[in-house]
Structure 1
Amino acid sequence: MVGGGIFSVLGISVAMIGVYTPVAIALGGGVAAVAAYSYIKLALYYRDEGATYSFFKRTFPGSRFAASLIGWWVVFGYISTLALYAYTFASYAISSGDHGDNEWLRKGVAGAVIMAFALINIWSVKGMGKLEDLMVYAKLVILGLISFVLIRNGQATLPDLLNTQEPVSLVSILIVASLTFVAYEGFQLVIHAMNEMDEPERNIPIAIYAAVGAAIVIYVVIALGAIFAIPFEDIIRNKEYALATGAGEILGNLGARLVILGALLATSSAISGTLFGASRLMAVIAGDGYFPKALATRKNHIPVNAIIIMAALAFALILIGGLELILEFGSITFLLVSLLMAWANFRIRDKTGSSLTLTLLACLVLAGGTGMILYYELTHEIGQMLFVGGLYVALMIGAWGYARTVR
């Protein structure tokens, strides 16, 4: 989970709400925790590695189109986050060179890192798992060190920042909180490994709640360190690699390199984990006939074709759009999908043993978050909204076409 999220959303958040960025990031984590409740309840009831797609299909078995559509939505949501992580990886990888602002070089590096981790996932699940563990432990140590150093060396104080902050509305804070939801979306991937884990009834809740809680703490601390130590104009100007620039000015070349290493490890593990879980979901959906049958093929339990196609589509999205477009598409998609999961849990709450209050709260919060992003798009980024709307129309046509062929 702790991947491209914090590195991607930090600059955009500071540009919109300044000193209130840590508040919005914490609220985004709260939305993720509420959403996670329904996922856990449905996972323990259905015990199906298809996760989001399978839960919805089995809760509402009467509509092939609905099953196909949510399958397409969630898979392309993962493709957008894969693109987000790879784009952020590339931004930090080239940030210290003479061509740090070269957009096409950034996109080329992003495509290369996606290809590299696609090959690692195809090569060996066991090898990928060991590499993932190593990257996760290393990145957590580095991110903790970065946060401590930034806060320790920060010249600004919270009262000073609040005194100089332009007025910010509650709506703006809630919009940013909704945009940061994509930074937490990785918790669903745990469920795709249900058939490969011991004691899922114990390990799934522990893994998901611990992951969301740890991500909130890490993201908020990093955001605090950034706003205390790095001038806002620098964060906004270098939003793709703001932490590296700020650490470089405070700690010199060594500090910048440490931040870059942390960002590369964080985004690498997120790319690898997303490919692992989402490719298995794509294979499950293809097995039901809602994607090309070739994507269901597995070699030694590894969905090779699904991994290759996901990597190719993520690279295509990188070529088409920029950071903000990818971020907004991913946030809207996962808020919508999580809302549908909360609704599914509400429909069978007696079977899943869910709290009516928590289930309704999840529906309300997720619907509100989706509405916040749409409101922002309508009022500030109408061009991007039209493009995202076009993507959804294309996904609906594809889902409808395959739903017609299933018997």
Structure 2
Amino acid sequence: MTQHRKRNKNLGLAELIAIALGGMVGGGIFTILGISVSLIGNLTPIAIIIGGLIASLAAYSYVKLGLYYKDEGATYSFFKQTYPDSNFLASAIGWFIIFGYISTLALYAYTFSSYAISSSAFADSIWVRKSVALGVIAIFTTINIWSVNGMGKIEDLMVYTKLIILTIISVVLINHGTTDFGSFIKNMTLDLEHSGLFSILIVASLTFVAFEGFQLVINAVNEMTNPEKNIPRAIYSAITLAVLIYVVISIGALFAIPTEEIIKNKEFALASGAGNVLGTLGTNLVIAGAILATSSAISGTVFGSSRQMSVIARDGYFPSILAIRKNNSPQNAIIAMALISSVLILIGGLELILEFGSVTFLLVSLLMAIANFKIRKKTNSSTFVTLLSIIGLSIGGILILYYELTNNWQQMLAIIILYLFLAFGAWRFSRKKEKNHV
């Protein structure tokens, strides 16, 4: 999720949309495409659209709470202010959101690595892939430690450049595809008969993490013009544009690349497919797009989430050493983020990281919807839409757990253990804070 730096100017609608798109289109499509096609084939665009609808439901409460509190702390601050008497709830939301960011950091680093080595002799080596992922995290950690500005000066350029590259890739794949529209619709019908609506909903939930990033708009509430109008406009416009980008790319891939190849090379499917269509130029173009997208996402995630971790530590819900700043840079928090995400890369594969990230952000979004429901009169929220958000996000989380239980119970066990660890950590620090205030 690309977190943007403080600006010295007022942010208008176009810039706010760029912030949200930079967060969402940060390597997500490169990650979810292969996994989605392996599960539901040509129905992938439909799952993406449903995922966008789920993201819109999640965004509703963020928008309402953002307009009510106008606090750049967003998720953590909203929940803490809505439930001011519960140290445990404040601690839990802090732990969940930070580890959600850690999972996306691991996801982007893993995707960067998969594409960076996709045209080499080490493309199928899991340990080379993990080593490169650890290396890229180390590089951006160093950048953020030694430079307060990090890569902030070029992030806007990176956002727009990667969107242009993704558009070019999509158009080229569609134009050079061997599948015509009629055959594509026929294949969709066959896949629907084989997979069914239930499988589509599971994939929409599994890939929810690809839509995370829209809430970064709220982080800039103190720097934007007319937040009452621009927060909802920017967030909903960005989600719509992200859906369009993802759908067009997925259709282009399905037109031009055999599904068997997408499934076989699901961790770098676009690079492999573009290489077959356009040769080395196509492969290099996709690799450049993936590296650019994930680089901006990694840098931004390290920058933004480490600062939020520092704030939560300052409030007493993480070790106090993580709150220490040097030259306004939370260096200890940056190192902690890098180390924990590196451990996640070492112990899990792409699917575990993806699913943990999706479950975490579905859970955090659900908690935001519950908080919004509690103060719905103050936020002037629709009871129906808020309840619909709670139901939709709950179903999404349950579907992921069901998929894990029926397909890979060991992976589900790993996710449950991670959550028990998070809950225990949140409980310990909330108890510690309560004792200190007795």
Given the two structures, how large is their TM-score scaled by the length of structure 2? 0.89
- Cα offset for 1:39? 0.7
- How does 1:181-196 map onto structure 2 within 5 Å? 181-195=208-222
Distance 1:207 1:117, change over 3 A: farther
Aligned to 2:272: 245
Of 114-123 and 168-177, deviating more is: 114-123
Q: 277, 299, 313: which one pairs with 2:326?
A: 299
Aligned to 1:42: 65
- Cα offset for 1:203? 4.1
CA distance in 2, matches of 1:125, 1:207: 27
- Cα offset for 1:312? 1.4
CA distance in 2, matches of 1:192, 1:163: 42
Of 124-133 and 390-399, deviating more is: 124-133
Q: 57, 76, 84: which one pairs with 2:80?
A: 57
- Cα offset for 1:294? 1.9
Q: Are the counterparts in 2 of residues 180 and 331 from structure 1 also a CA contact under 8 Å?
A: yes
CA distance in 1, matches of 2:154, 2:340: 24
Of 246-255 and 294-303, deviating more is: 294-303
CA distance in 2, matches of 1:178, 1:125: 36
RMSD, matched Cα: 1.6
- Cα offset for 1:357? 2.1
Secondary structure of the residue aligned to 2:381 is: coil
Q: 22, 35, 44: which one pairs with 1:21?
A: 44
Deviation string, structure 1 residues 209-256 (Cα, Å, up to 9, x no partner): 232122111111101111111001100000000000000000001101
CA distance in 2, matches of 1:203, 1:104: 45
- Cα offset for 1:189? 2.7
Aligned to 1:275: 302
Task: Give the aligned residue type for 2:139.
Answer: A
Aligned to 2:262: 235
- Cα offset for 1:118? 2.2
Q: 130, 136, 139: which one pairs with 2:159?
A: 136
CA distance in 2, matches of 1:107, 1:13: 22
2:420 maps to 1:397 = no
CA distance in 1, matches of 2:238, 2:189: 35
- How does 1:74-85 map onto structure 2 within 5 Å? 74-85=97-108
Task: Give the aligned residue type for 2:176.
Answer: N
Q: 351, 355, 359: which one pairs with 1:332?
A: 359
- How does 1:247-266 map onto structure 2 within 5 Å? 247-266=274-293
Q: 378, 381, 396: which one pairs with 2:408?
A: 381
2:187 maps to 1:161 = yes
Aligned to 1:357: 384
CA distance in 2, matches of 1:308, 1:206: 36
CA distance in 2, matches of 1:357, 1:273: 35
Deviation string, structure 1 residues 354-385 (Cα, Å, up to 9, x no partner): 12222111111101111111111111111100
Secondary structure of the residue aligned to 1:399 is: helix
- Cα offset for 1:284? 1.5
Task: Give the aligned residue type for 2:210.
Answer: A
Deviation string, structure 1 residues 59-110 (Cα, Å, up to 9, x no partner): 1122211111111111101100110010000000000111111111111111
- Cα offset for 1:190? 3.0
Aligned to 2:236: 209
CA distance in 2, matches of 1:245, 1:333: 30
- How does 1:60-71 map onto structure 2 within 5 Å? 60-71=83-94
Of 267-276 and 74-83, deviating more is: 267-276
2:28 maps to 1:5 = yes
2:350 maps to 1:323 = yes
- Cα offset for 1:15? 0.9
Q: Are the counterparts in 1 of residues 211 and 239 from structure 2 also a CA contact under 8 Å?
A: yes
Q: Are the counterparts in 2 of residues 49 and 281 from structure 1 also a CA contact under 8 Å?
A: no
Of 194-203 and 298-307, deviating more is: 194-203
CA distance in 2, matches of 1:105, 1:202: 47
Q: Are the counterparts in 2 of residues 53 and 74 from structure 1 also a CA contact under 8 Å?
A: yes
Task: Give the aligned residue type for 1:137.
Answer: Y
- Runs of 5+ consecutive residues of structure 1 not aligned to the other structure: none
2:141 maps to 1:118 = yes
Given the two structures, how large is their TM-score scaled by the length of structure 1? 0.96
Deviation string, structure 1 residues 237-287 (Cα, Å, up to 9, x no partner): 000000000000000011010000011111111112222221222112111
Task: Give the aligned residue type for 1:14.
Answer: V
CA distance in 2, matches of 1:77, 1:329: 8
